[in-house]
A and B are shown apart, each in its own frame.
Chain A
Amino acid sequence: MNEVRFHGRGGQGVVTTSKILANAFARTGQFGASFPMFGFERRGAPVTAFGRFSDKPVREKTQIYNPDILVVLDPSQKASKAVFLGLKPDSMLLLNDTDITTRITHENLKRFALINANKIALEEIGLAIPNTVIVGAFAKMSGLLDVEPCCGALEDYFSGSKLAANIVCTKRGFEEVELFDL
């Protein structure tokens, strides 16, 4: 089982990212379970979400303390100690950042991935909502998913021209993410 922790802010689509990934795993015959943890829903407030992806049914209903993978949608949290808490050895980090020179190292990271998801989202959907770009980038970085089930999963959350634009976002995320093996 891969345990993934998502860090972002309300309005970035953090929760939707984790949902789409759970959906994509289910489409490949695997299992996914994801949930966010917050009180009131507010734009701009820090949001943490948890995803468990496995070839067996996921039964745990707890938060994630020792993630295998970190996904940081909000670049202002990239230096936050809380983000790196409990990080497992040989783990991966995916960061959304407009600063493409950012490089993150950590003793427990084996792979760092960088994507300017806001830029791609602005180009494709006209809004700086990075979530569907992140979905594609996650698939590429983790190697756990192909891009097709990710695009398929989008059908449950978007329709019409929005669906088409977000499929482009996911594909571009998959193709344009930069990987750095540490």
Chain B
Amino acid sequence: MVTKTKAETKKGSQIKVITGNAAAAIAAKLACPDVVAAYPITPQTEIIEQISKFHANGEMDCELITVEGENSAMNAVMAASLAGGRVFTATSSWGLVFMYDAVLATSGARAPVVMVNVNRETPGIIAVSSGQQDMICTRDAGWIFLIAEDCQEVLDLVLQAYRLAEDYDIQVPVMVHYDGFYLSYLSEGVDVPFQEDVDKFLSVLEDQPKRTVLTPGNGMGCGSHGILGGYMELRHKHVTALERSKAKFDQIDKEYEDIFGRAYGGQLEEYRMDDADVVLVGSGSMCGTIKTVIDEKRQAGIKVGLLKMRMFRPFPGEAIVKALKGKKAIGVVDRSLNFGHKGGPFYTEIKAFETQLDGSPMISFIDGIANTDITTVNVAAMIDTICALAAGKEVREVTWVSYPEANEPEVNKSGGK
């Protein structure tokens, strides 16, 4: 994505220097939700502060519920959503796992909730620091997961999330993820659209059939409940809605461009991929750094590209195969662990498509855990390793880039020193 200068900004928008958290709060305000549930947690707190301010000074006309914890936050927005409201909430890490049962209930009830999750390491080892482990802990909850690279994309994805979640053909909750600390507190120029353009973008939903809503006095089941065939029918419908959301997200990205002048490529963003021999696959804020290093490597004649995962649930397998097919070697960067597997979560999931990639070899990089900085030096080393793999050299399947102790030869580990 190319950030525009003020002069190039479309009429009806303005450049504001704001944090990722402020971008999320402003996007929520622009979407005009009926109900917001608010509970603070580092590094998400600024979102709640900003929304409270918008609410207090009359800029946001919503029901703001200051709940006593995240579990209540999710139950509140799920209920409001089932009653037909547009809803918003935001969380992170401990908050996300504290609402886990309600996260599952929300997707099971197909309530089109939009939530921001500011990625942070999870309980287990206390770490007030960045990492996508909280996202991985909830990946099987049946939600749609979108991931932002910078503050602009935070704002854009929250708006797009409403179109996706509330689409009559989808009706699945959407979580927008971005890296805590790296994006939550990053101040940079963001093109903030004017209300009338956002209204136009979201008005498509008003032309669709109305979703079924709970109405006082009308007897109707919710939080659907079934066994055997009934259960399978609901689950199958949920799974097929997730499948439909892939193409729908691509389409929404195009419609977004028509109004706001920015497109990212839908499920995946491809950077210098057309003639790339080797590829790094990444997600979130690391992608900005990777793009910079790719430009340097290109100047040295190395044909490397980036495949950026913007959608993680549903898993964009078909688009990934199309983008990676025929590449000489692939490295996947994970900012989280896949307990029980050696490689990271993204790596393990992409590896499942290996047979469709015409034998492209693939390796896993673990980096960025607990605020470990994914530096330009680290990215350059990853690219060098992928090039070595492409040249037929033996390289490790899994590399902990910032923790060389994990990369010692097996013999040293078992034999002692």
Contacts and interface: CB of A to CB of B under 8 A. Distances in A.
Interface of A: 15, 18-19, 22-23, 26, 29, 31-37, 39-41, 57-63, 65, 153, 156
A35 B187 contact: yes
B189 A32 contact: yes
B128 interface: yes
Interface stretch (B83-91, B137-145, B178-186): B178-186
A57 B289 contact: no
Contacts of A63: 373, 375
Contact of A62 (B2, B5, B19, B374): B374
Contacts of B150: 59, 61
A15 B21 CA distance: 15
Given A22-B189, A60-B376, 10 more contacts: A29-B5, A29-B6, A35-B181, A35-B182, A59-B288, A59-B289, A59-B291, A61-B183, A61-B374, A62-B289
B289 A33 contact: no
A26 B189 CA distance: 7
B64 interface: no
28 contacts: A22-B187, A22-B189, A23-B187, A26-B17, A26-B189, A29-B5, A31-B3, A31-B188, A32-B17, A32-B189, A33-B186, A34-B186, A34-B188, A35-B187, A39-B42, A39-B128, A41-B42, A58-B188, A59-B150, A59-B291, A59-B292, A60-B292, A60-B376, A61-B183, A61-B374, A62-B289, A62-B374, A62-B376
Interface in B257-307: 285-286, 288-289, 291-292
B50 interface: no
Interface residues of B, number: 33
A26 to B, nearest CB: 5
Contacts of A33: 186-188
Contacts of A62: 289, 373-376
Contacts, number: 78
A37 to B, nearest CB: 7
B129 interface: yes
B7 interface: yes
B371 interface: yes
A36 B189 contact: no
Contacts of A36: 185
Interface of B: 2-3, 5-7, 15-17, 19, 42, 128-129, 150, 179, 181-183, 185-189, 285-286, 288-289, 291-292, 371, 373-376
Nearest to A52: B188
Given A22-B17, A37-B371, A40-B42, A29 B376 contact: no
Contacts of B179: 61
A15 B17 CA distance: 13
Given A59-B288, A60-B289, A29 B7 contact: yes
A65 B375 CA distance: 9
Contacts of A65: 375
Contact of B17 (A23, A39, A40): A23
B17 A61 contact: no
Nearest to B45: A41
A60 B373 CA distance: 11
Contact of A57 (B2, B42, B129, B185): B2
B97 to A, nearest CB: 19
Nearest to B7: A29
Contact of A61 (B16, B288, B371): B288
A37 B373 CA distance: 11
The residue in A40, A58, A59 that gathers the most chain B C-beta atoms within 10 A of its C-beta is: A59
B175 to A, nearest CB: 21
Given A22-B17, A33-B187, A37-B181, A60 B288 contact: yes
B77 to A, nearest CB: 27
B286 A61 contact: yes
Given A61-B150, A61-B285, A62-B376, A26 B186 contact: no
Given A37-B371, A60-B376, A32 B288 contact: no
Given A19-B187, A62-B289, A57 B3 contact: yes
A15 B187 CA distance: 10
Nearest to B3: A57
The residue in A37, A62, A153 that gathers the most chain B C-beta atoms within 10 A of its C-beta is: A62
A82 to B, nearest CB: 15
Nearest to A23: B17
Contacts of B128: 39-40
A35 B5 CA distance: 21
The residue in B129, B291, B373 that gathers the most chain A C-beta atoms within 10 A of its C-beta is: B373
Nearest to A36: B185
Contacts of B7: 29
Nearest to A18: B187
